[in-house]
Homo-oligomer: A and B are copies of this chain.
Amino acid sequence: MADISITNVIWSFNNKTKELLVLLLKNSEEQMWGLPTTYLRKTENAEESSLRLVREKIGVDLPLVNTEQLATFTDIHRAKKRELALTYMIYLPDMPGLVPGYGADDAQWFSIKPSSENYLLQHGKLSFETLDENIDRNEFYLQSDLFKNSNGLISDHALILRTAFNRIRNRLDYSPTILRILGPTFTLKKARIIYSILLRVSLTEIDNSNFRKTHKRLFLEVGTENIKGAGRPGKVYRLK
C-alpha cells in the first residue's frame, strides 16, 4: 500500500574543528538538502536496510548493533506519494569521506552549531530556529501538527533531525551513545565538548572535575592519552 522509506540520521565529529556533524545529501531532482534515504527491500528488515544505506553512501560496513531506531513518521502528506519513514540513528567516528552516490549531487557533513538560542542553516552550519523543547515529549503524537519545513530541508527532514537531536540530548544522563562518534575510546575533554554542544552551553560551564565525578559511572578508564601537546595528557575512557 504505502512505500516504506528508511532514513538515517548519521552523526560524526570533526576532530580538528571539534564540531558535531550530521550527514546531508543534496537531492538531484529538487536540489535541496536532506537526510540519506533508501527504500526497504523485500529481503531485509529495517535495521539491515539502514546499514545498507550507510554502506552505499559511505562505504562503511557496520554490524547490526550500530543502528538504532528513532521513530516512524506516517503523516499522509509528508511526501508526494504516501510514504512511511522509518528513521534510524547511526554514530560514526572519524568523519569518513563521502561520495554523493545515486540520486544525489552532493554529500556533506553539516556542523550542528548553537548560535545564541537558535540554530540556523547557513554557510554549511546546520541550525534550527527555535528548537522546540517539547518535540521529544510529543514526538510520538501529533506529528502532523508539528510538521514544519522551516530549514530548507526536503520533506519533513527538519522534524526528523530535531527529533533525533532531542532524543540524543534526553539520553545524555543515562546512555550517552552519541559519544560513539568519538571512536571506541575518548578523553573527558572531548566528551564535554559534545555535551556542551548538545546542552547549548559553553565548555567552561561544564566543570571538568565535576563532570568526571558525575559521569564515571558511565565510563570505564582504559589508559592515558599519548598524543603530543601542551598540558597534562588526559586519561582515556570508553563507554561502559
Chain A residues with CB under 8 Å of chain B are 1-4, 40, 42-47, 64-69, 71-72, 74-76, 82, 84, 86, 88, 137-144, 175
Contacts and interface: CB of A to CB of B under 8 A. Distances in A.
Among the interface residues A3, A138, A140, which one has the most CB atoms of the partner chain B within 10 A? A140
A204 B43 CA distance: 51
Nearest to A141: B65
A175 B75 CA distance: 25
Given A47-B142, A143-B47, A2 B40 contact: yes
A141 B66 CA distance: 8
Nearest to A49: B74
A45 B75 contact: yes
Contact of A86 (B65, B74, B75, B82): B74
A49 to B, nearest CB: 8
A72 B69 contact: yes
Among the interface residues A3, A68, A138, which one has the most CB atoms of the partner chain B within 10 A? A68
A42 B1 contact: yes
Contacts of A82: 42
Contacts of A46: 72, 74, 84
Among the interface residues A75, A76, A141, which one has the most CB atoms of the partner chain B within 10 A? A141
B76 A44 contact: yes
A71 B140 CA distance: 10
B76 A45 contact: yes
13 contacts: A1-B3, A1-B4, A4-B4, A46-B84, A47-B140, A64-B141, A65-B142, A68-B141, A69-B71, A69-B72, A69-B141, A74-B86, A137-B175
A40 B74 contact: yes
